Chains A and B, each alone.
Chain A
Amino acid sequence: MTTDTRHAPQTRRRIDGTQLHPYIPLTDDDRLAMLKLIGAASTDALFEDVPAAYRNPDLRLPDPLSELELLDEMAELARRNAVAGEYACFLGAGAYRRFRPSLVDALVNRGEFLTSYTPYQPEVSQGTLQTIFEFQSIVCELTGMDVANAGMYDGASALAEACLMACAVTGRARIAISDRVHPNWLAVVRGYARGRGIEVDVQPHGAFALTAEHACLAVAQPDFYGRVSPGAAAWGDAAHATGALFVVAADPVSLALYRPPSAYGADIVVGEGQSLGVPLSFGGPYVGLFACRDAYIRQMPGRIVGATRDIEGRTGYVLTLQTREQHIRRERATSNICTSTQLVALAATIYVQALGPRGLRRVAELCYEKAHYLAGRIDALPGYHVERGEPFFHEFAVTTPKPPEEINRALLQRRIIGGLDVSDYARHRMLLCVTETNTRAEIDALVEALADA
């Protein structure tokens, strides 16, 4: 035996001459033949450059599991989560439960998509490349921007990168951002900005004060509380008046119903692509949408695909404008990013194409109608008050008669996951979200439970 089986799965009987594990095909005979050609006495000899004192650490890991055991264990863990579907869920706040047509997963899970690498060899990667091109086309159309990239990690990091990009475009090192951007997104922006030494001014929503030091004004539309402001054009004008860029974080489903950010002066538009039919998956993987005006394309982070022709004149697609990227420009790159979260972008692309323009708008309308129905019913409950300063899309804040935590505990008893606690020093407040997946029966049950809570 040339193989050190000291660490071989203890719970498994090893039969000599067979392979060790389903994931490792070499048999003992293969090993012997290969070592012979290499001229090494054992596989151990191949690790001769590793300092001997540090070799073969004793790893304390759980015993290995067969596939059957693994599936049982994971199913048991999955059952410990209360999940939308079994529970009525009214949580949103940046992650939205969507009806997902069956064809999405069936197509996304094709191994040719799932197990391919970044399309650096275009001749054998046209499937991925064309999908990215179609994704870019969709993101441009939804946002009204000229160009889009292939995708970022998530909406929050896309917003952070947009702020860094605005600094690169303007040569300024301070950004202004609305206090009604999702608090977690704000935290991500702060983190990215700190690395680059950029100052972050969080300003009261709608009362922005910009100076010639600001690289951009960044807002969310709808904002964290679901509100769609009619006054956004004035903010764009204010930003432009000081030479700053106007950055808008927009929910892509809302863009099937509402006018695109290009209509009110946006220079860069980002968004959380999860809302385009991507599973909640406890927070990821999602995909960040990133689009901007033509003028800024060379400062845009991330991967970009362009159309071209092969030497026989056939249309094809390639990664392009790569001189912006880390593998070429290294420390002078626009970002260190080297993913496009492609599989999630693919899911979003399929979702949008399956629904089409009217289907996507219908999803937005269903969310809108059901959310407004719920808001109307909650308003009639004593002690509850829906905040209605500005029009909202499908999320809204409600002042509650007691702490949301208490209310949510009571709701859980009835298999309802309530809204996010957004209380401040002055009032108990809950952020409720309704999507097309919430039925009227669920909504009515929530109203009843709130009344009883």
Chain B
Amino acid sequence: MLEPHAMQLSRPGRFAVALPPPGVPPQETPPPHLLRDELRLPELTQIDVVRHFTRLSQLNWSIDTHMYPLGSCTMKLNPKVNDAVASLPGFTNAHPLQPASEAQGALAVMHGLQAMLAEICGLAGASVAPMAGAQGELAGILVIKAYLESRGEERTRVLVPDSAHGTNPATASMAGFDVVAVQSRPDGDMDLDALRDALEQHGHAVAALMITLPSTLGLFDRNIVRIAEMVHAHGALMYGDGANLNAMLGQVRPGDLGFDVMHINLHKTFSTPHGGGGPGAGPIAVTDALLPFLPAPHVVREGAFALIDPPHSIGRLGAFHGNFGVLARAYAYIRALGAGGLRAISEAAVLNANYVQERLRGAYDLAHDRRCMHEVLFSGARQKAQGARTLDIAKRMIDYGYHPPTIYFPLVVDEALMIEPTESETKETLDAFCDAMLKIAEEAATSPELLREAPHNAPLRRLDEATAARKPVLRWDRDSR
């Protein structure tokens, strides 16, 4: 065991923080039968708590400590000034229900972010209410549903490319749509014939095409304008998954290409910390026609800033106004960069990915041999034949000090290995990373067992995930230890 469970550190009578006396006269206590008689939580002294979590943190890898080339996740620099901004007491101590007149600063941040995101996406307006990318997707699809219903159209199907992120079909399903998969061509672009067939077969039942641009293959679909025309010609809408927006900042705007709705992952493109799995934020941007359907609340400026419910809103997604602390960070990020800075971000992100593609092209099979955007997709098929699977390559990378890339996604590429270096890395880091990848390719050919048994020098060796799922142990149990 690397670090004991807090309950193992616990000793009766210890505590880490003292509380003040009530300072008011004693009150009648609640009826005893409503009270709880036992609460088994850790009892730790202050040094225990500080060391416990400090030691736990040291078992993690992070952007702050390691290059983290996780495809589709955009693990870029998280500027510390953004954390400082979000931690200003004027923001952290603001109650969500305090009168709008007393919350003008927070509302100005939200309003400013709405406007800047809409501008970046080339769309009419944006909502910053969704609390994560997947919730943004749900909001966007519900907006489409509400819009179509308002026009008396009952469309029940959503087209999703086979390369899509799993949240796309899961979202369509949560919104009550049936999912129809559309194939990609070998060159990575969407198969226009398959799209035409799907549109013709399902006709006016199609509500939307959900598409990621650049695609999850790291490619910019060269037919995107044609795709949008075909979808619109059938009265359906274009839904954009913004997971890969980092490649397009200031280069091209999805709205200009024909997208009607898109969600934006602030925790990817706009540098808010991933936090080990959230919190994120998933604002959506929409065309003019869809503005009345945006989630509630929406920030408007009528003299002062105010929160309103859009006239035909799909309703609320959370108890309050969205993840303000995340929004403030993204706002600060965009303000620090401006239009020119954003454009330089996407340019560097794409340059770095193409550089990695070029340096590794001889050693690993490219899924598609063409210009990539902000991420490059390899297949580990050659190494698999040599006796080391993509998972083994990934684990071996840990030994060299690099967080593994995204593996086995997208599902349409055998032994997928998706590398997204982001704009944040120096050329020296990229070179060292590529050197390590080349070395690993050599090892796969000469001593694949080295990969199969990796990692060798991480805090733990490979874990038994099968037993974890078959006999789940999901909480502390004093009897089982």
CB of B19 within 8 A of CB of A362, answer yes
Residues of B within 8 A of A346 (CB): 275-276
Interface hits, B55-83 → A, CB 8 Å: 56-66, 68, 70, 73, 75-79, 81, 83
- Tell yes or no: A17 within 8 A of B by CB: no
State the CA gap A340–B92 with chains docked (Å): 21
- Tell yes or no: A74 within 8 A of B by CB: yes
Expressed in whole angstroms, the minimum distance between the Cβ of A145 and any Cβ of chain B is 9
Cβ 8 A contact of A230, one of B34, B53, B119, B253: B34
- Residue from A65, A196, A339 with most neighbouring chain B CB atoms (10 Å): A339
Which of A146-154, A206-214, A378-386 is near enough to bind chain B? A146-154
Cβ 8 A contact of A258, one of B5, B36, B105: B36
CB of A354 within 8 A of CB of B46, answer yes
Q: Considering the complex of A and B, which 5 residue pairs feature the smallest CB-CB distances, nearest first?
A: A78-B90, A283-B320, A343-B275, A111-B64, A283-B96
In the complex, residue of chain B having the shortest beta-carbon distance to the beta carbon of A49: B220
Cβ 8 A contact of A279, one of B93, B281, B337, B342: B93
Interface hits, A144-198 → B, CB 8 Å: 146-148, 150-151, 153-157, 164, 182, 184-185, 187-188, 190-192, 194-197
Known contacts A59-B250, A112-B64, A355-B16, A38 near B354 by CB under 8 Å: yes
CB of B95 within 8 A of CB of A258, answer no
CB of B347 within 8 A of CB of A70, answer no
- Tell yes or no: B169 within 8 A of A by CB: yes
Expressed in whole angstroms, the minimum distance between the Cβ of A139 and any Cβ of chain B is 8
CB of A46 within 8 A of CB of B354, answer yes
Expressed in whole angstroms, the minimum distance between the Cβ of B422 and any Cβ of chain A is 10
Which of B283-291, B378-386, B438-446, B454-462 is near enough to bind chain A? B454-462
Interface hits, A81-101 → B, CB 8 Å: 81-85, 87, 89, 91, 93-95, 97, 99, 101
- Residue from A118, A121, A185 with most neighbouring chain B CB atoms (10 Å): A121
State the CA gap A259–B33 with chains docked (Å): 8
Residues of B within 8 A of A353 (CB): 6, 16, 41-42, 44, 49, 52
17 pairs, A vs B, C-beta closer than 8 Å: A24-B348, A34-B352, A46-B347, A50-B252, A61-B119, A83-B94, A114-B64, A117-B73, A126-B3, A127-B60, A128-B60, A133-B476, A281-B86, A283-B96, A284-B279, A350-B53, A354-B17
Cβ 8 A contact of B41, one of A188, A356, A439: A356
- Tell yes or no: A399 within 8 A of B by CB: no
CB of B343 within 8 A of CB of A7, answer yes
CB of A115 within 8 A of CB of B64, answer yes
- Tell yes or no: A41 within 8 A of B by CB: no
State the CA gap A155–B24 with chains docked (Å): 31
CB of B15 within 8 A of CB of A336, answer no
Residues of A within 8 A of B52 (CB): 353
CB of B90 within 8 A of CB of A126, answer no
CB of A330 within 8 A of CB of B169, answer yes
Expressed in whole angstroms, the minimum distance between the Cβ of B351 and any Cβ of chain A is 5
Residues of B within 8 A of A279 (CB): 92-93, 325
Residues of A within 8 A of B78 (CB): 114-115
CB of A356 within 8 A of CB of B14, answer yes
Known contacts A128-B60, A331-B170, A343-B273, A71 near B85 by CB under 8 Å: yes
Residues of B within 8 A of A134 (CB): 5-6, 476
In the complex, residue of chain B having the shortest beta-carbon distance to the beta carbon of A23: B77
Known contacts A130-B5, A320-B465, A97 near B252 by CB under 8 Å: no
Which of B129-137, B200-208, B229-237 is near enough to bind chain A? B129-137
- Tell yes or no: A338 within 8 A of B by CB: yes
CB of A47 within 8 A of CB of B350, answer yes
- Tell yes or no: A450 within 8 A of B by CB: no
CB of A372 within 8 A of CB of B1, answer no
CB of A336 within 8 A of CB of B275, answer no
Residues of B within 8 A of A305 (CB): 474
Residues of A within 8 A of B425 (CB): 25
Cβ 8 A contact of A56, one of B85, B251, B427: B251
Contact with B along A338-358 (1 / 0, CB 8 A): 111111101000101111111
CB of A363 within 8 A of CB of B19, answer yes
- Tell yes or no: A18 within 8 A of B by CB: no
State the CA gap A91–B57 with chains docked (Å): 35
Interface size bracket, B side: 35 or more
Known contacts A115-B62, A285-B326, A321 near B472 by CB under 8 Å: yes
Residues of A within 8 A of B336 (CB): 23, 64-67, 70
Residues of B within 8 A of A40 (CB): 354
- Tell yes or no: B175 within 8 A of A by CB: yes
CB of B56 within 8 A of CB of A54, answer no
Q: A89-B98, A316-B460 are in contact. List 19 more A-B contacts (CB 8 A).
A: A23-B271, A59-B119, A80-B90, A83-B89, A103-B46, A103-B49, A109-B83, A118-B277, A121-B395, A136-B475, A157-B317, A191-B315, A281-B91, A310-B461, A336-B171, A339-B278, A366-B19, A370-B23, A373-B27
- Tell yes or no: A48 within 8 A of B by CB: yes
Expressed in whole angstroms, the minimum distance between the Cβ of A296 and any Cβ of chain B is 13
State the CA gap A151–B474 with chains docked (Å): 13
In the complex, residue of chain B having the shortest beta-carbon distance to the beta carbon of A85: B93
Expressed in whole angstroms, the minimum distance between the Cβ of B328 and any Cβ of chain A is 8
Residues of A within 8 A of B358 (CB): 37-39
Cβ 8 A contact of A440, one of B24, B317, B352: B24
- Tell yes or no: A304 within 8 A of B by CB: yes
State the CA gap A131–B27 with chains docked (Å): 37
Cβ 8 A contact of A369, one of B22, B86, B166, B276: B22
Contact with A along B324-350 (1 / 0, CB 8 A): 111010001011111111111101101
Residues of A within 8 A of B350 (CB): 43, 46-47
Cβ 8 A contact of B251, one of A50, A81, A197, A361: A50
- Tell yes or no: B50 within 8 A of A by CB: yes
Residues of A within 8 A of B400 (CB): none
CB of B142 within 8 A of CB of A191, answer yes
CB of B173 within 8 A of CB of A331, answer yes
Interface hits, B4-52 → A, CB 8 Å: 5-7, 14-17, 19-20, 22-28, 30-31, 33-37, 39-44, 46, 49-50, 52
- Tell yes or no: A424 within 8 A of B by CB: no
Known contacts A134-B5, A138-B41, A331-B179, A54 near B256 by CB under 8 Å: yes
Cβ 8 A contact of B274, one of A117, A148, A362: A117
Expressed in whole angstroms, the minimum distance between the Cβ of A165 and any Cβ of chain B is 12
In the complex, residue of chain A having the shortest beta-carbon distance to the beta carbon of B39: A357
CB of B472 within 8 A of CB of A339, answer no
- Tell yes or no: A326 within 8 A of B by CB: yes
CB of A24 within 8 A of CB of B345, answer yes
Expressed in whole angstroms, the minimum distance between the Cβ of A127 and any Cβ of chain B is 4
- Tell yes or no: A30 within 8 A of B by CB: yes
In the complex, residue of chain A having the shortest beta-carbon distance to the beta carbon of B454: A123
- Tell yes or no: B375 within 8 A of A by CB: no
- Tell yes or no: A21 within 8 A of B by CB: yes
Known contacts A63-B338, A336-B171, A124 near B403 by CB under 8 Å: yes
